[in-house]
A and B are shown apart, each in its own frame.
Chain A
Amino acid sequence: MGDFFNSLLRPIELLVAWIMYGFHQAFTAIGLDPASGAAWALSIIGLVIVMRAAMIPLFVKQINASRKMQLIQPELQKIQKKYKGKTDPESRQAMTQETMALYRKEGTNPFSSCLPILVQSPFFFGLFRVLNGLEKISLGQSDEIGPITKEVAAQAEQATLFGAQLSDTFLRANNTATYVVTVILIILMSATTFTTQRQLMTKNMPASALDNPFAKQQKLIMYVMPVVFAVSGINFPIGVLLYWFTTNVWSMVQQFYVIRKMPAPGSAAEKALHERLAKRGKPIPGEAERKAAEEAEAAAEAERASQRVQPKSKKRAKKSGSGSAAKKNSQTKN
């Protein structure tokens, strides 16, 4: 089993080693001291940038999906209205099922699946193993990994970030610098993840989604997460924590961008965006459709109400109904 795992991770370790080595060479070429912690720390950050840049197509997909979500908003609201105030598990399941069926029908989906995280995790472990193995490689006790030869490993192993070796872990170290840097990185990691999640919950969720039990559970977990980070963080080398922190920062910025430009319909962020647009005198996307839908609804309502009293007004109501529908069509074309 261990051997199988090793041979599975080997190519990823090699790839991680080559990317890091490439960045290290580049930073050395522009004048950084090859043995410095800065050169090696920046190489790790370079690794994050390569990883996340490779995933930009997924990010673009996410943006397109949120754009499309705006368009199917009226139908989504119909489902939400149908299940308004129903909190029993059967209703919640039926509601989720109908929502998912709608996504499928409309060819959009706001979720990204767990593949992105599954793809990233081997690289995380690859980096973990490369950093963890540096000492043994430098001592000649384990095999060299591609460009990470005995000499390179020795150099990287000695590289320090604010006095803490990149390959050091909190639990195995006995110097204050490693303790301090680990604690700071754990705090930064927790803070970035916390902000990312909190942004999503407080700004980018419609109020109707905020009071369901699932959101409440997630809120609780948000406060437990720093503990999880602390427990796992003291087992990881500083370099891995640096990778983790950098990738968190990337996620946070990326999400901030999406929430600002393409907020979820009905959320606080959408309201803020509409206010910004209104201030600058720009048209609010979806507003015309929403108004048209409201008018059509009102017309239909009027028709239903008037039917009993005056059969004559039915024609009039129909006329205004088809009129607003035509208006809606002309607006969606723009």
Chain B
Amino acid sequence: MTDTSFVDLFALPGVQRSAWALLVAGVSLPVVGVLIIGLDVITVRFAVMHTALLGIALGLWWGVPPYGLALGMCAVLGLSLAPLASRPAGLSGPMSFVMTMTAAAALLVLSISGVNANGAFEVLWGSILATRPEDLIVLVVVAVAVLTMFATTRRRLALVLFDRELALCSGVSVVALTALALLVVCVSIGSAIRLTGALLVDSVTILPALAARNIARSFGAMVALAVMFGLVGNAVGFVAALQFDQPPGPMLVLVAGTITLVTFMPRRRPAIPALH
């Protein structure tokens, strides 16, 4: 691809929309990634993915906006998981249960209703270049919600993610805050899977947060670094995809993965003075 055609691509409204979507996602979704790591719900993606699939299948069957119903069901999932978060065993078990049951329910709904399964499964293979204006609006709304939640609860959230019991003993409403965080996480992932597809959504959520955790010393620094890595990863990945005429999803993952790998590299240790 020549430089001229690369620049020309950015003149296309669809590409511009995709770039805006990645910009918005780069600012907000790494914050969600930080929450996912802090709440130890890395498998939440699978539960959300299948819940969204069920929502879309039901939406197509009932003739209601499928994507809206999917997001609503993701919100219900987040809120219903919250009471289980205080269990010592954590949320992995309940999420695996939800993942399996919703996948089965979605397949049953598709079979019973006879709706076009391709329309439902589209959610698993979303593409940034297929971003619609309404997807961008949803992303912006979610981003505002994520950043507002972070700005208003930052200190309390940091304590909850550090030590849940210490937060309880410090007067923090741990249950309510956990429910809010899970709600934000589930809805954000539900909205993000349109960008990269459910299978690659980690590149815009968890990978920047993982990279940031390797470097940051505080919660605030971790969030700031995660956002920075998210923006850089999205920008470089998207430009590389256009430049080399490759699908954006894998390019985004490769760039985010490379950034994360670099942060795992050992740093130079200070010199140890010799003993005499």
Q: Does B bind A?
A: no
Residues of B within 8 A of A (CB): none
Residues of A within 8 A of B (CB): none
